[in-house]
Each structure stands twice: as structure tokens, then as C-alpha cells.
Amino acid sequence: MKPGAEALLELRGVQSGYGASKVLFGIDLTIGVGTVATLLGRNGMGKTTTIRTLLGLLPLRAGEIRFAGERIDGRATDAIGRLGLALVPEGRQVFPNLTVRENLVAFAANRASHADPWTLDKVLALFPRLAERCDNLGNQLSGGEQQMLAIGRALMTNPRLLVLDEATEGLAPLVREDIWRCLGKLKAAGQTILVIDKYIERLVRLADAHTIIERGHVVWRGDSAALAADRSPWHRYLGV
């Protein structure tokens, strides 16, 4: 968390899982306002389970989750979303039979009364390729364009926290660069972001703080300077 930043999201001792299987064993994570944070780890170590628990898609078994100081564990997913959490899900999940414009305007909201909210025009300015494809259906877009649309759709809700699960998975290198540039612009604008991704070199340059989990436990946390200076966690926990 940035020095002096107010905590926006706090996970304390979070335990969760699926059925009889326990996946998370006491996850602690704090993200400050205006911070870009990452949640890192190999596949199957609990990253997506953490996100699903945060959003109320999985029940919390122990611990607590606070957003802007309020306990949100136990609330319905739609209620959590209305507080200002927006997810760019793994696999994008755009509406295939809606146009780009319809996918975006369907999610337009400014519940937090931002003075300069995200609008359709602002999202299309951020992603010029979407402006060119505005009347195309979701299933007519490339994978990269669908990812841009998924990010734009989340921004249309004017979130306080933007969560990206596998932000650049499966994208061509040039398209990945477009996504990284977009996230850099969002960071410069003060957007609070939580990113799950495997491209550590880029995340070290983008993010302020990092948390690594292994088999449902936090095994490392620190800032980008610390992670760049000591690559042993990369090899030990991330397979880099």
C-alpha cells in the first residue's frame, strides 16, 4: 500500500473453499486508495478463489473482508458490486449478441457520484479500436478487442476498485502492450486496481504492491522495488 494511502480493501484471515475442500488458509491483503496491487501465484494456488470470495461468489469460512471500512462478507454479489467493485473476469465474458456500444451502455452507472465519470465517449477514447468496432457484435471481436471491451464495461460502472483476473491471458504480444498502456493510464488517473497476471516484468513496472500466495497461504508481500531487487520469490513461487 502506498505510504499514507487510506485502505480501500482489507482482507483479514480469509478462509474459503469449495464444498469440503478448503483452498484459502488465512489470506491477508490490503489495498490503499489509488494503489495498483497484484495477487500473484502459480495456477491453482488460490488467486481466483480469493477474488470469488471477495465478490461474494463463495462463502467466507473465517476472517473478514472490509471495503471502504465496511464489512462486506456475507453480502450478495450485486450489493458488493454496487459499493464500487468491478471485475474484469477471466475469459472476458462479453455479451456475444450485443454490440460493443450496447455492451458498454448496459453497465453505465455513477453511484459514487464521481465528478468526472467514465462515459461511453471516454471509454472509446481510451480504446480507439472499440470506437472503430462500435456496431459490431461481441462475438465478432478478436480476443484482444473483447478484453478491451471487458475493461471498458467495468469502467462504465465507475468503480472504486477495478479487479482484473488474468488481464492479458491468451493475448498476442502487441495487444498485451495495449492493455498494459491502458492500465498505466488508469493508474495515472488515480484508479485503484487489483491485477492477477503472470507477466511479472510488466507488473513490477506497473504496480505499487504485490502479494504472492502459495497453496492458499500468503508467502511474500512487498513493493515493486523489493520484488525487482530480489528475484528469488519469482523462481520459488511463480515459476519464472
Confidence (pLDDT) at 192: 97
Cβ contacts of 70 within 8 Å, gap of 6 or more: 83
Helices within the chain (DSSP H only): 47-54, 77-82, 100-105, 120-126, 128-132, 143-155, 173-188, 200-206, 224-229, 232-233
- 1-10, 50-59, 91-100, 176-185: range with lowest mean pLDDT: 1-10
Examine the pLDDT at 115 and tell me if it is beyond 60: yes
* Edge-to-edge strands, sheet with 7-18: 21-32, 7-18, 62-67, 70-71
The residue type of 201 is E
What's the pLDDT tens digit per position in 193-228?
Answer: 999 999 999 999 999 999 999 999 999 999 999 999
Confidence (pLDDT) at 3: 61
Confidence (pLDDT) at 93: 87
Structure confidence at residue 2 as a pLDDT band (50, 70, 90) = low
What's the pLDDT tens digit per position in 25-73?
Answer: 999 999 999 999 999 999 999 999 999 999 999 999 999 999 999 999 9
Residue 224 C-alpha cell reads as 515493486
Q: What is the mean pLDDT of residues 97-121?
A: 91
Confidence (pLDDT) at 13: 98
Cβ contacts of 177 within 8 Å, gap of 6 or more: none
- Residue 56's SS3 state is coil
pTM of the model: 0.94
| Cβ neighbour number for residue 134 with a 10 Å cutoff | 13
Residue pair 195/154 in contact by the 8 Å Cβ criterion: no
Q: CA 104 → CA 51, 101, 123, 162, 201, distances in Å?
A: 23, 5, 9, 16, 31
* Edge-to-edge strands, sheet with 192-196: 85-88, 161-165, 192-196, 36-40, 209-214, 217-223
Confidence (pLDDT) at 240: 55
Confidence (pLDDT) at 28: 98
DSSP category for residue 5? P
- Residue 187, exposed/middle/buried by CB under 10 A (0-12, 13-18, 19+)? middle
Reference 212, options 190, 228, 236, 183; nearest CA is 236
Examine the pLDDT at 166 and tell me if it is beyond 60: yes
Confidence (pLDDT) at 152: 96
The residue type of 132 is E
What's the pLDDT tens digit per position in 132-163?
Answer: 999 999 999 999 999 999 999 999 999 999 99
**Cα–Cα distance measured from residue 186 to residue 15, given in angstroms and rounded to the nearest whole number:** 31
Examine the pLDDT at 4 and tell me if it is beyond 90: no
Reference 207, options 228, 185, 223; nearest CA is 223
DSSP category for residue 140? G
Question: HSE on the CB side for 177, CA within 13 Å?
Answer: 2
Residue pair 57/81 in contact by the 8 Å Cβ criterion: no
Residue 27 C-alpha cell reads as 489470506
